[in-house]
């Protein structure tokens, strides 16, 4: 097998690793898909923002740049990582809050339809919000049972959608298995049934190329603190296809999403355009680090980022097969790289204890029930040598 050092020498994106805080240390970070590392430029950028923009411009900053930042940054994200034309993406609230707003907007746009389709292995917040909206609006949840080492297939979706379906909610990359859903195919199946689809891009935005416009997606929501390195709690984004923007109305009718915020009029009318999906004052400080990571992804190119991501997960699968399968570890992610996002889950009955030991030894993966060690490989900040070191540590930690 090629040595990890050779793979790092041959990696055209290897130099990007030096731009991340702490990447030169010995800690093995397998959780960049949960909280990406900061870039070294982000610290100075934040300090400069406080001194020059916040401190220097004060409230004038809103007119000069901040009021439009949710949309301008949304357009940058759309161009660099989402395959979407301008005017359809905005940075807003947390993912959870945006999921609520957009699921609610979607079911309201399909009156008379009574079901929301969601899979049993979708991320908890997606399932909880869908259940809450079903309760609130008198709708029924229609569950898709999925293999937890894979995800929603076209056949499974085709079986459950029909004339009663208002909305389908699926993750592009499954948070547990890394299953990469066939977005255009599943979207077509939902559309043939007359339903809207909301795609959760939390585990794909910034690592897997997305073509929202070409795939005819209706609505998408995603995180910015995972592969977009926005920092803990950085605000999420929402995409709404241009054909739907002025048809959907969201339930949190705040002044920033209103037609003329500064008229402060007696009643709410939604803004025309994507700003209508905002509610209150945008979290500007949380948007600053996202800009730095987007610049890096733009520079590297999202297709090259994906190529590195595939090489990293392929390498992790190969090393796990060599080092860990003799100890009884099994792959709980799709074996084919084209069906997999940027992480790999490895199952063993002792993985909960193994994870605790690894954290003590400065190897930081995630644990996911049942028995899953989740290895997140953030393409621009992870090296092949790091993967090898981390998996050797897993071998040592196993009984």
Out of 115, 119, 121, 200, name the contact with ligand PLP by CB under 6 A.
200
Of residues 149 through 188, those in contact with ligand PLP by CB under 6 A are 171, 175
| Residues in CB range of 230: below 8 A, 6 or more apart | 36, 224, 286, 287, 289, 290, 293
Token pair for 227: 């592969």
Pick 11 or 121: Cβ nearer ligand PLP: 121
Looking from the CA of 32 toward its CB, the CA atoms found within 13 Å total 33
Q: Which stretch binds ligand PLP (CB under 6 A): 105-113, 128-136, 198-206, 254-262?
A: 198-206
Nearest approach, Cβ of residue 203 and ligand PLP (Å)? 5
Catalytic residue among 123, 175, 227, 315: 123
d(C-alpha 77, C-alpha 75), whole Å = 5
249 binds ligand PLP (CB under 6 A): no
Pick 101 or 371: Cβ nearer ligand PLP: 101
Catalytic residue among 175, 225, 239, 315: 225
Nearest approach, Cβ of residue 313 and ligand PLP (Å)? 17
381 binds ligand PLP (CB under 6 A): no
Q: In what order do the strands lie in the sheet with 196-200?
A: 89-91, 237-240, 219-222, 196-200, 165-171, 115-119, 140-144
Token pair for 309: 């991501």
Of residues 38 through 97, those in contact with ligand PLP by CB under 6 A are 94-96
148 binds ligand PLP (CB under 6 A): no
- Backbone phi, psi, residue 128, to 5°: -65, -45
Nearest approach, Cβ of residue 237 and ligand PLP (Å)? 11
Whether residue 130 contacts residue 112, with contact meaning beta carbons closer than 8 Å, is answered with no
Out of 91, 202, 305, 380, name the contact with ligand PLP by CB under 6 A.
202
123 binds ligand PLP (CB under 6 A): yes
**What region, left, alpha or beta, does residue 361 occupy, with left being phi > 0 and alpha being psi -120 to 50 degrees?**
alpha
β partners of residue 278: none
d(C-alpha 99, C-alpha 381), whole Å = 29
Of residues 275 through 334, those in contact with ligand PLP by CB under 6 A are none
Active site residue 374: yes
Among 221, 248, 246, which residue's Cα sits nearest to residue 235? 221
Active site residue 226: yes
Q: Would you name the residues annotated as active-site residues?
A: 123, 200, 225-226, 374
Residues forming the site for ligand PLP (CB under 6 A): 94-96, 123, 125-126, 171, 175, 200, 202-203, 223
């Amino acid at each position: 097998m090629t040595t990890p050092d050779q793979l790092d020498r041959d990696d055209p994106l290897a130099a990007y690793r030096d731009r991340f805080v702490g990447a030169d240390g010995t800690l093995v970070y397998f959780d960049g898909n949960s909280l990406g590392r900061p870039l070294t430029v982000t610290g100075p950028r934040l300090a400069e923002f406080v001194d020059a923009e916040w401190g220097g411009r004060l409230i004038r900053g809103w007119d000069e740049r901040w009021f439009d930042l949710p949309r301008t940054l949304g357009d940058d994200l759309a161009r660099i990582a989402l395959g979407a034309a301008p005017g359809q993406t905005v940075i807003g609230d947390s993912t959870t809050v945006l999921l609520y707003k957009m699921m609610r907007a979607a079911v309201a746009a399909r009156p008379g339809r009574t079901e929301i389709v969601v899979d049993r292995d979708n991320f908890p917040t997606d399932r909880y919000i869908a259940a809450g909206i079903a309760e609130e609006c008198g709708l029924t949840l229609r569950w898709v049972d999925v293999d937890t080492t894979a995800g929603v297939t076209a056949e499974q979706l085709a079986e459950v959608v029909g004339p009663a379906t208002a909305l389908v909610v699926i993750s592009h990359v499954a948070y547990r298995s890394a299953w990469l859903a066939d977005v255009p195919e599943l979207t077509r199946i939902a559309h043939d049934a007359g339903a809207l689809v909301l795609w959760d891009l939390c585990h794909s935005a910034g690592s897997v190329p997305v073509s929202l416009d070409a795939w005819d997606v209706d609505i998408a929501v995603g995180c910015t603190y995972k592969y977009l390195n926005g920092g803990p709690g950085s605000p999420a984004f929402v995409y709404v296809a241009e054909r739907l923007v002025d048809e959907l109305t969201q339930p949190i009718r705040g002044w920033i999403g209103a037609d003329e915020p500064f008229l402060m009029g007696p009643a709410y009318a939604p803004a025309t355009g994507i700003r209508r999906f905002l509610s209150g004052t945008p979290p500007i400080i949380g948007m600053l680090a996202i800009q730095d990571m987007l610049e890096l992804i733009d520079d590297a190119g999202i297709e090259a980022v994906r190529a590195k991501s595939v090489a990293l997960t392929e390498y992790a699968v190969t090393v796990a097969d060599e080092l860990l399968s003799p100890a009884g570890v099994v792959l709980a992610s799709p074996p084919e790289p084209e069906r997999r996002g940027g992480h790999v889950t490895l199952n063993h009955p002792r993985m909960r204890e193994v994870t605790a030991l690894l954290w003590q030894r400065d190897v930081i993966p995630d644990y996911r029930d049942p028995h899953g060690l989740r290895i997140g490989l953030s393409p621009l900040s992870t090296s092949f040598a790091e993967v090898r070191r981390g998996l050797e540590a897993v071998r040592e930690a196993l009984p």
